Every structure is written in C-alpha cells, then in structure tokens.
Structure 1
Amino acid sequence: MTLLPLLDLYGVKELAEQDELADVTRNLTRLDWVPLYEPELPEGHHSCISFAAEASRLKN
C-alpha cells in the first residue's frame, strides 16, 4: 500500500485523519463523498478525482 508513506510524507500524523483518508481512497470509485470534501479541496483536484474514479471504473 502506498497511502501510508504518502500521508507520512505530507505530514498527516493523526491516526483519525489517516483512517478518514484511507476510507476516502477505498471509496474512490464512489463520487458521493466529493461534496463533503469539495470545499477543502484545492482548485483542480475535483477533476483529478473524477478522472481517477472513471479510470478505476473502466479498469473494473
């Protein structure tokens, strides 16, 4: 799994926040979570999330 090293690299140290972000990645193909986090996402990230979700959907 590459998520935990990335979270460490970006300074995400709190276990609760790591768990929350891990849940987000597990549910990446479901875009119903995006509105919950959209206000906190930097500009342009919504497109990246959409592309990743579509790629995952096509892969499966």
Structure 2
Amino acid sequence: MEVKAKEKAIKCRHHPSRDAYAVCQKYSTGYCEECFRSEACHCSNPKAYCDYRLQCMIWAMCEQGMD
C-alpha cells in the first residue's frame, strides 16, 4: 500500500483563509487572486538575484506596474 504525503496548500499572506493564486517560489509567499491583482502583491526583494525570476508572475506584474 502506497502512502502519499498530503501537500499543504500555500495560503495568501494577507488572507490566510484563501488559497494562493500566485506564489513566490523563492520565499514561498502566497497571494490570493484579489491581492495578486492589487498593490498588495509585490516582489519581496526585487533587486536580489532569484533563480525563479524569469518564470515569476509576481515579479512580472511588479515590473509592469513600475512604468
């Protein structure tokens, strides 16, 4: 019999009752869809090197908003 570990869903950092819509892979910080589409969502450290930068939705949204 195979036993699988349950994966714990990452929650929104501002709304802990909501599942994350977007997650920072470096810091495991989650944002629900409402926060992701608002100013509440931001890259925790946009100047630091990040292995996940090119695939990061959070960083991309921050870059678009910095015009």
TM-score of the two chains, using structure 2 as the length reference = 0.27
Larger Rg: 2
Larger helix proportion, structure 1 or 2? 1
Larger strand proportion, structure 1 or 2? 2
